[in-house]
Chains A and B, each alone.
Chain A
Amino acid sequence: MTQRRKWTAIPGLILLAIGAVALSAYSGASSSQNNSPVQPILFPHPLHAAGNLNMNCLYCHNTANKSPDPGLPAVSTCMGCHLIARADRPEVQKLAKYYAMGSGKPVPWVRIHKLPEYVRFPHMRHVNAGVTCQSCHGPVQEMTQVYQFASLNMGWCVNCHVNGYDPREGLKATGIVDTSTTVTPDAERKRARYDCASCHY
């Protein structure tokens, strides 16, 4: 008896191993989610994008609604205000140094959100469809140091394209508290094509 039970353990172990492999494959292990590098200038998004300044993302990332590339503010854009405003702060002085005549040199920001070369992500299509920046980038207006909010895995993209984008969820992400508890009717969810060639070519 005991002997037989001993041997039946083996197939069980094998099954366990297979299950583990499948699961590890399923969890998008290769994502750089939550990656949060230190930037050459400690730019505080909360100060700019929230609080009493409460600037619109598009003020600095000014091509996000007209180009696949969201655009980075040129150093001159920053200096537009910072020639006067807060010119005494150390971080601002760092910025000024970059801008200084002669040694003028752009800021080498460290890139956080990076899709592989074989993926095309047209920002303007999403922005103009009313998708809030925060739905993908997370509550940047609260991030003292920006980190990668979403996994940016293909499944994550396709999920939204197939099931549709819920405008209310998007608004919630921006911090606007939505009191209504009703679920968005299916018709109001914005769906998009999930054909491979929409992004891969």
Chain B
Amino acid sequence: MSETTTPRVRRREFLKVLGAGTAAGAAACSEPTGKLIPYLVSPDQTVPGVSTYFASVCRECSATCGIIAETRDGRVIKLEGNPEHPLNHGALCARGQSAVQGLYNPDRFRSPMIKTGGAWKMATWDEAIALLSQKLGEHKARAGSAVFLNQHESGSFPTFIDSWLSSFGMRPHVSVDFEADHAVIEANKRSYGVAWPGLAFGQAQLIVSVGADFLDGWGSSVQHQLDFADARAKGASAPRFVYIGPRRSLTGLNADQWVSCTPGGELAIVNFLLGRGDARAAATASGANADALTALARELAAAKPSLVIAGGRGENGLEVALAVGALNKAAGNVGVTVRPADAALGFEGISKQGDVMAAVERMRSGSVAVAFVRGPNPAYSLSPSAKFAEAFGNVAFKVSFSLYPDETTEMCDLILPDLHSLEQWGDSEPVKGTLGLQQPAMDPVFTGSRATADVLIAVAKKDAAAASKFPADFRTWLIARLPAGTAQRSAMLAKGIGAGSITRREVSSTTTPSSVAAAAGEYFLVTYPSPTLGDGRGANKPWLQELPDPVTKILWSSWVEIHPETAAKLGVERGDILEVKTAAGSVRAPALVYLGIRPDTVAMAIGQGHATAAQPTFFDGKDTGVQWGYGRYSRSVGANAGALLSGAVNGGGGWVASGKCDVVKTGERQTVPTTEGSARQHGRGIAQAIEASELGKPQEAESHGHIPGAASTAFLPGLRSPVAADAQGDLGAPTAADKGNQVGMYDPNHPLGMAKRRWAMTIDLARCTGCSACVTACYAENNIPTVGAPWQNGVVYAEKRPGFNITRGREMNWLRLERYYEGAEKGGFTEDFEARFIPMMCQHCGNAPCEPVCPVYATYHAPDGLNVQVYNRCVGTRYCSNNCPYKVRYFNWFGYGEPDRIQYAFPEPLNWQLNPDVTVRGKGVMEKCSFCVQRIREAENRAVLDQREMAADEFTTACAAACPSRAIVFGDAADDSWSVTKYVANERAYHVFEELNTYTAVVYLKKINHAAAGAGAGER
């Protein structure tokens, strides 16, 4: 790791070569043989061409999951969850995966920058630090008023900042997290004494979520999803799940029942469930269905224990959350399903939005001399009514530590680019008694960036008073704080976690709810942080822009969710640009007609619509591609729904994210970029489901025009895949006459025994929540290009619109997540419809339609059951795709993988992330899911090196590794010791399009539905 590499290792040059090398496309046949740059002094532990792994901490949200960074020749190439970690147990969400695109973001600052006379100039660190300490000196008198806004993070760093600030006589910093649910945190503290209690879904008989979107990135998302999936996988004994809210979020779509209510109506419902008041009153107050409420109350009373979770983004968020707390207490869930004992500590110490607003007000008053911003982006996130720009302008000297250009940084006077969390030291305390160590996984990508902590120390050293208080660098300071010091640090380097706890800084908060003026408007408005972009900080990462929203499947765009009934009333169709107006402001976005929202409500996701300033030529005229706004990938994408919010704060000190609004049809239209074709299955049984009550009973398979008397398409592992079998003669039946007399690669006695294996995958739809982490994992592992950026289109025939290629169906997602609706065909409003999520990738058919039609053998069947695509043999007839019933083959319409092209998907240094084991495809070739063949080969190589047989479940694919629901299992179906074989035998197992005799290697397990107590089985 980095401290072992002496400064004389010229790793940068070395990497440049590799970077350039890997980026060459498959189309390139005889490319120039470059230079070979050896190490000057070879660093211990690293073997060129073999990965080294570093355990660290994920900083993409406040939960601080554990991650393992895979590095190859000194570059981080992939992030995966840390199996040992108490929160995520090896899983990792899409946002976590995308941290590498923050690390390698092409828009990162290359060096400190100083604004002089409105113009930005590159500066050396000495200049920058000198300037800062000089300014601090100038304003010493008013130091007390200084403001430090830091992106909330758990661990010792906040304490460090405070000690630094205090040594300059400044007040403690404000720990900002714009996507935190403050009302819930406040209520949790009052009800359970912790900010974020552990939720034991598995223990509950019934799960009721009152607008708590724990599958959409709310709170400790990955942890909750793991528990939830485990609970739901219990089949008949699994808890039923009821969702209460105005809109069906991803969490809502995973519920068995939706009880719709107006935003703010939740309080009445919870009170009713508490036994205060009667159903009718509650129904009228909340707009919910009285009978549904009564039934729910009865069910809740019967279920012991149950689990009720509250979300608090509404005006009365705190009250709702408190009422839910009371409800859990009354039902005796506290300690059973709600466990303060195993609280997620990452959410302690978040300052309330009220505190942020207070700071802003102080700035406005002009009393603030110096302001520091590290991480948060208030200029984007704060409501326009907060007039942040004006207030910030009144500050004499503004410093930003941001890695990337953003709206706030643009207003500052000095930029001291921080290191990425994968480049610097830190720690965290995910749960009580466990420490997480954040260690650098590689040398800084840009030598021009420096760890903020070390910069602060450097400044302190220039100050006589403060100098003595700090050690040489932050690492020393940090290790000194570890319970067992250096020894423990070295111990923790390996696993990334260890025992111990961190003395937390206490935040004193004095928030009073701002009185919300009764908003006027025809419709209710609901805004929510995007499950993929969070509060907008994900918007500069192409993977997250290219990741379809799990609910609407829209990408590279904003949208307004509106119910079919309302749409009909307004004469609106998908793609009509709507203008949503509130007292605070108005935004324009295309309409999305969505079943899962109340007719009296419209909803928008927050996260898009960053500022789009023109790209200035920076750094003394040298254009480094840095541009204001929030980087190239967020430019002119969508609209910022945050502009609709009043900026009011609720009792818990969180934003009031809902209100009233008017909706106007502008008459303009725009094709919404989406990966969705038809949202209905048309009775084709792609995503199948079964009633919990039906489990265990004999059932005949759903038939779709299955021809009577046709061959059995039941899963046949091992050699019995027709193609491999043909090559063995006599359909390779174990009884075949010429068994073993065959030579060639399908020969069972082949020296390498390939033909002994049959790689296969099972996907449990009862576990899958549709979170799409697998999709991003696939992008990361397989060098899949993102194609939605406005410039990634033809040159002459160019429509410079974000997501244009997607509107032409040209997305490259080898693994896509389909979302089908069942029920509610009539389009009228009903709560009673079901969503089914199904990950769809190459099915690796044993009898693949794509294989015989390829004229050049570019796709063919490997003896170990893989359906192989040989990129460099492909001539691009695209016949294979035409003949693929699953439509999982993707074509390189442009040179996405060719560095010299405008469509290049990996501009330096993004190409440092490219997986060296996977070919980067050139234009004109077909590509598809390979079952991570590079991982198979790697495992084979490892086994051969150790002179042993491959162990069962020794490795898995990228999607399976990432899946926070553990829905995907990969393995050798021909060898019973692999766990995949057990799932294949499951009663719920089925193949998609079985009747086509494709003998797919991907087996799906039917989703399990839990009908309401009263409702008869099979009703839905």
Contacts and interface: CB of A to CB of B under 8 A. Distances in A.
B73 to A, nearest CB: 8
Contact of B944 (A73, A125, A196): A125
Interface residues of B, number: 53
A167 interface: no
A66 B50 contact: yes
Interface of A: 30, 32, 63, 66-69, 71-77, 98-99, 104-112, 114, 116-118, 120, 122, 124-125, 128, 190-198, 200-201
B49 A193 contact: no
A116 B32 CA distance: 10
Contacts of B37: 106-109
Contact of B933 (A74, A109, A201): A201
A116 B872 contact: yes
Given A67-B48, A112-B33, A116-B29, A74 B42 contact: yes
Contacts of A194: 745
Residue with the greatest number of chain A CB neighbours at <10 A, chosen from B25, B35, B918? B35
B889 to A, nearest CB: 16
B49 A67 contact: yes
A75 to B, nearest CB: 5
B31 interface: yes
B494 interface: no
12 contacts: A67-B49, A68-B50, A72-B39, A72-B48, A104-B8, A108-B37, A111-B33, A114-B31, A117-B22, A117-B919, A118-B872, A196-B873
B945 A117 contact: no
Nearest to B24: A117
Contacts of B14: 106
A73 B42 CA distance: 8
Nearest to B868: A197
**At the interface, is chain B mostly helix, strand, loop or mixed?**
loop
A105 B750 CA distance: 48
B862 interface: yes
A192 B38 contact: no
A99 B40 contact: yes
A76 B6 CA distance: 13
Contact of B26 (A68, A74, A118, A122): A118
Interface in B3-30: 8, 10, 13-14, 21-22, 24-26, 28-30
B307 interface: no
B937 A104 contact: no
A75 B873 CA distance: 39
B31 A71 contact: no
Interface in B862-892: 862-863, 866, 868, 870-873
Contacts of B863: 195
Given A30-B30, A99-B40, A192 B751 contact: yes
Contacts of A72: 36, 38-39, 48
A200 B745 CA distance: 16
B751 A105 contact: no
Contacts of B978: none
Nearest to B750: A193
A129 B34 CA distance: 29
Interface string B832-862: 0000000000000000000000000100101
Nearest to A116: B29
Interface in B902-944: 917-920, 930, 933-934, 937, 941, 944
A177 B673 CA distance: 69
A101 to B, nearest CB: 8
A116 B941 CA distance: 21
B22 A124 contact: no
B745 A63 contact: no
A141 to B, nearest CB: 20
A72 B39 CA distance: 8
A122 B941 contact: yes
Instruction: List the 7 shortest-distance A-B pairs measured between CB atoms, nearest first.
Output: A69-B49, A74-B42, A72-B38, A114-B33, A67-B49, A118-B872, A74-B39
A122 B50 CA distance: 11
A149 to B, nearest CB: 15
B10 A200 contact: no
A200 B925 CA distance: 14
A69 B751 CA distance: 24
B40 to A, nearest CB: 5
Interface of B: 8, 10, 13-14, 21-22, 24-26, 28-31, 33-42, 47-50, 745, 750-752, 754, 857, 860, 862-863, 866, 868, 870-873, 917-920, 930, 933-934, 937, 941, 944-945
Nearest to B859: A196
A29 B351 CA distance: 69
B941 A117 contact: no
B30 A116 contact: yes
Contact of B745 (A98, A124, A195): A195
Given A104-B40, A108-B36, A201-B917, 15 more contacts: A30-B30, A68-B49, A72-B36, A75-B39, A105-B10, A105-B40, A106-B14, A107-B38, A117-B26, A190-B751, A193-B750, A195-B745, A196-B868, A197-B933, A200-B871
Contacts of B41: 74-76
A201 B930 contact: yes
A67 B50 contact: yes
A97 B40 CA distance: 12
A66 B47 contact: yes
Contacts of B39: 72, 74-76, 106
Contacts of A196: 857, 860, 862, 868, 870, 873
B751 A191 contact: yes
B40 A111 contact: no
Given A117-B919, A201-B919, A193 B933 contact: no
Contacts of B22: 117
Most buried by B among A110, A116, A195: A195
Of listed A69, A98, A201, residue having the most chain B CB within 10 A:
A201
Given A77-B42, A196-B868, A201-B919, A104 B35 contact: no
A20 B920 CA distance: 35
B38 A106 contact: yes
A30 to B, nearest CB: 6
Nearest to A119: B872
Contact of B47 (A63, A109, A195): A63
B40 A106 contact: yes
A111 B24 CA distance: 16
B862 A109 contact: no
Given A30-B30, A196-B870, A75 B944 contact: no
B746 to A, nearest CB: 9
A200 B870 contact: yes
Nearest to B39: A74
Contacts of A122: 937, 941
Instruction: Pick the most buried of B22, B31, B34, B37: most chain A CB atoms within 10 A of its CB.
Output: B37
A64 B24 CA distance: 24
A176 to B, nearest CB: 25
Nearest to B27: A118
Nearest to B73: A69
Contacts of A193: 745, 750-752, 754
B944 A106 contact: no
A187 B33 CA distance: 38
Nearest to B932: A201
Contacts of B35: 108-111
B759 to A, nearest CB: 11
A71 B26 contact: no
Given A106-B10, A193-B745, A76 B42 contact: yes
A85 B109 CA distance: 47
Contacts of B21: 117
Nearest to B33: A114
Contacts of B752: 192-193
A98 B48 CA distance: 21
Contacts of A195: 745, 754, 862-863, 868
Nearest to B42: A74
A104 B28 contact: no
Contacts of A109: 35-38
Contacts of A105: 10, 40
